[in-house]
Amino acid sequence: MIHLVLAAAFTLMSAWTHGESLFEMQCSSCHGLALQGGPHGPPLIGKSAADVDFMLQTGRMPAAVPGEQSTQKTPGLSQADILALLTYVVSKAHVKSQLPRVVPGNTGRGRMIFAENCQQCHGVSAHGASVGYRNIAPSLMRTQPEQIAEAVRIGPGEMPRFGPDVLGDSELDDLVSFIGYLQHEKTVYNPGGLPLANIGPVAEGFVAWVFGLGILVVFVRRIGSTD
């Protein structure tokens, strides 16, 4: 038993040391050596594990251009490096926190939660949309369940934060399950009635109007007479 405890402690210390080295090389120029922040990056003091993990897992950090809204891309670090950075930053951030856990939920309830809280920005089929100025609510089609849960809890960018007092853990599970349904059932869930790349009922309605008017113009020209 003592050997297992010592092995776990050694592994944690190795991860912490590796994370410190990574932070100094890739993060400190923007966030400061003491996590105090600077002109090109916010302070990390007080940030939760979900905050740090979300930014690293979605490839938003390290940022290519400091100060601009970062979008989801392939993580720039390996999972081992992300774990090491997470271990180090959380230990220095002075906040006791843990990553949200996601379990399968009720997609029917999740659909209502999504309609009430998410589709206004992310679109009725979660393909993303503009939220004003140069900011966008990104598509959720490639976002992993854990990152969806983290985003809900931390509110990255322009997104509001939904704490447990606003959206309980079971409701969060329902929401994540429904978004997973949208990701894997693209040809089944079509709010506008026809697939049309799942662009939503408003855009699909516009396409229908244009198509209908085109048919009407052709019909009028056919029955019209120049005599």
- Average pLDDT taken over every residue of the chain: 82
Distances from the Cα of 210 to the Cα of 112, 195, 213, 214, 220, angstroms: 31, 17, 5, 6, 15
Burial of 150 (0-12, 13-18, 19+ CB in 10 A): buried
Confidence (pLDDT) at 5: 38
Quick: pLDDT tens for 148-190. 999 999 999 889 999 999 999 999 999 999 999 999 865 455 5
Q: Which residue ranges form the domains of the chain, and what is each CATH number?
A: 2-92 (1.10.760.10), 107-189 (1.10.760.10)
Would you say residue 7 has pLDDT above 60?
no
Output the CA torsion 90→94→98→100 (10° steps).
Answer: -90
| Cα–chain center distance at 135 | 14
Quick: pLDDT tens for 27-66. 998 899 999 988 888 899 999 999 999 999 998 887 766 6
Count, in order, helices (H) and strands (E) of the chain: 9, 2
Would you say residue 198 has pLDDT above 60?
no
Confidence (pLDDT) at 132: 74
Least confident of 87-101, 136-150, 198-212: 198-212
Q: What is the pTM of this model?
A: 0.75
Confidence (pLDDT) at 66: 66
CA angle, residues 165, 169, 170, in degrees to nearest 5? 120
Distances from the Cα of 92 to the Cα of 23, 78, 165, 175, 186, angstroms: 11, 21, 27, 32, 42
> Cα–Cα distance between 41 and 35 in angstroms, integer?
10
